[in-house]
Amino acid sequence: MAIFLVYMDFSTIALHSELKRGLAEADFISAMPVQEQVIANAFSGRDLYVQSQTGTGKTLAYLIVIMQRLISEPALTGRKALIMVPTRELAVQVEDEAKILGRYLPFKTGAFYGGVGYGAQQQTLRDDAQILIGTPGRVLDLNASGYMNLMNIAFLVLDEADRMFDMGFYPDLRKLVKVVPPADHRQTMLFSATLNTYVKNLAYEYTKAPVEIEIEPEHITVNEIEQILYHVPASNKMRLLLGILRREDPESAIIFCNTKRYTEVVARRLRENGIKCEFISGDLPQHKRLSIIDNLKAGKLRFLVATDVAARGLDVEGLALVVNYDLPVEAENYVHRIGRTARAGKTGKAVTFASEQDVYELADIEKYIEKKIPAQVASEDLYGEIERERQITQPRQFTQPRQSQTRQFTQPRQSAQARRSAQSQDNIKQHSPRKEEPRQQRPQAKPPQQQKVKPQHGAGAEEVSVLGLPLEERVAYYKNKYSDKRPAESVARRNTGETEGGKGAARKHGRRQIEAAIDTPARGASAPSAGVLELRQEKRGNGRPRRRHGRGTAKTSEISKPKIQIPASETPQKGFLSRVLGIFTKKK
């Protein structure tokens, strides 16, 4: 149902005396239409679904209902209220307003939002705060960790519900509704500036026979704001902004940009030209954002550059000017942006820039507000002079991480014509007949360093180079040195495993021969050979030779360690007692 605008004083409403005292000290005298309708329907405990434009006093309306019912109804003693908002700034603002309104009431208020530590918020819950204001993510975290008990909630308020859906909080809200008391054990009030499917579904699914209150937005905000639109080239937007700020000289102003990057760029360029300002965006630390907003509200800061994070709920008393440096992508955000001025029945001015980059959004905005924005082409006398021409293109912090000093820089980017030329050359090379190129010879690996082994025990001064010999000569050398005296047939059968023990016996017998060659020199040999010394040096603790792969040699055991055959007649034989005591006996 549509509600007509009727103003009334708070003094005529039956409120608690201490609550009236807080209203009077905060200079709240006359009730706005939405406040009157909410108070009239909510005191009976009915659920509400309120559609009202931003800046119409919704926050004060539901705070009055909550505080009045908690202080005056004994059945609600000890019960709590949960107020959900989409942004941290709005949570802090609602907390401040609740503290001002209930300064003489025995209620403790707390705000719960991300971007800050949990310690102070957990302490507020331990102090038994009754009015809880928070963002969905942090509230769900505190509830899951056991610090926030939501089963004793008597009031559930969803403020700026459409904005929460736009920011992706719809799944979180559905989870939240499941951990609070059911609809018949709580009072639910849902506030939204616009109607959409998500808001309607949530209202009818989680409320009980709600009273619908609708305030037409065009009668509240838009008609009380002087709007003007300038068609300006994108390259001249900064000059036009400087000219407007210097000509209008407002007490305070907010300049809205579409991206976080340009909020910092615009703010830095304004400071370069002598205009002191700050910027806020979602990437700015929370304590910094709160400090900037407090300075703006206190009058210590005149100009603020912001994204749409400040387009909802930010209440700056007496804000004189709003500048849309970029046209918003969403038509609804245009109304929320200019709604920062002309709040609570006051007047204000909104200036919008439409360049060749974003003018296509203008039709949707004018269709949404059902009004043509007065437009004109920016003349030369409106432009200001840029005192410093330095172009600032990269933000200093919070938006892009600083590049490492050890970064490897690539080649300069080619022009489009150069890239097309290079691509055509690649196509020609790809489809042309391929020429056979001579295959490059692989460089020969260096031969391993020759190891010279000097015969010992007076065997002579001749030096034998073993590792430097080719494979065939090394094999021949070992065969000559350790030739088998038995017939070749038995040796062949033994090496191939055609004996009684099979292949395993052959491998075992060959291993014993190698161990014997390492531990005991062959009979008749004056000194150990180079191969024996090499094997002795590389012998492992388990008696197996270690494999080495020299540079430039193949990694196979046949090449690195050729087989060594030791005559059985010269191999010491072990008896049972010898094997036990480790004593070798010579074959008789």
Q: Which domains are seen in the chain, by residue range?
A: 8-219 (3.40.50.300), 235-382 (3.40.50.300), 452-581 (no CATH)
Contact indicator for 549, 560 with CB cutoff of 8 Å: yes
pLDDT tens for 69-126 read 999 999 998 899 999 998 888 898 899 999 999 999 999 999 999 888 899 999 999 9
| Half-sphere exposure (Cβ direction) of 395: Cα atoms closer than 13 Å | 19
pLDDT tens for 154-210 read 999 999 888 888 778 888 988 998 899 999 999 999 998 776 777 777 778 888 888
Mean pLDDT value across residues 385-390: 70
CA 112 – CA 115 distance, rounded (Å) = 10
Per DSSP bridges, beta strands 187-192 and 131-134 are unpaired
Q: Which H or E run includes 225?
A: strand 225-231
Confidence check: pLDDT of 282 > 50: yes
Confidence check: pLDDT of 394 > 50: no
Q: At 80, is the secondary structure helix, strand, or coil?
A: strand
Instruction: Determine the straight-line distance between the first and last CA of the chain, rounded to whole angstroms.
Output: 125
Q: Which residues are within 8 A (CB) of 101 and not within 5 positions of it... i.e. 6 or more apart?
A: 19, 22, 23, 26, 60, 63, 64, 67
Mean pLDDT value across residues 311-338: 82
Mean pLDDT value across residues 51-63: 84
Mean pLDDT value across residues 341-352: 76
Confidence check: pLDDT of 307 > 70: yes
Residue of 156 and 427 predicted with greater confidence? 156
Residue of 405 and 21 predicted with greater confidence? 21
Q: What is the pLDDT of residue 543?
A: 47
Q: Which residues are within 8 A (CB) of 171 and not within 5 positions of it... i.e. 6 or more apart?
A: none
pLDDT tens for 206-234 read 888 889 888 765 444 456 788 999 999 99
Question: What distances in angstroms separate CA 407 from CA 122, 403, 410, one per listed residue?
Answer: 43, 7, 9
DSSP E strands, 450-548: 452-453, 464-465
Contact indicator for 267, 278 with CB cutoff of 8 Å: yes
Mean pLDDT value across residues 319-337: 88
Q: What is the pLDDT of residue 12?
A: 82
Q: What is the pLDDT of residue 416?
A: 55
Q: What is the pLDDT of residue 150?
A: 93
Task: Kindly state the DSSP code that residue 444 receives in the 8-state scheme.
Answer: P
- pTM for the structure as a whole: 0.53
Q: What is the pLDDT of residue 27?
A: 83
Q: What is the pLDDT of residue 463?
A: 42
Residue of 554 and 184 predicted with greater confidence? 184
Q: Length of the chain, please?
A: 588
Q: Which residues are within 8 A (CB) of 155 and not within 5 positions of it... i.e. 6 or more apart?
A: 65, 66, 69, 79, 80, 81, 82, 83, 186, 187, 188, 189
Residue of 134 and 160 predicted with greater confidence? 134
CA angle 200, 203, 209 (to 5 degrees): 120
Percent of the chain with pLDDT over 90: 30
Mean pLDDT value across residues 264-274: 92
DSSP string for 49-62: EEE--TTSSHHHHH
Q: What is the pLDDT of residue 298?
A: 85
Could you tell me which residues are beta bridge partners of residue 189? 48, 157
- What does pLDDT average to over the chain? 74
Q: Taking every pair of C-alpha atoms in the chain, what is the biggest distance, in angstroms?
A: 133
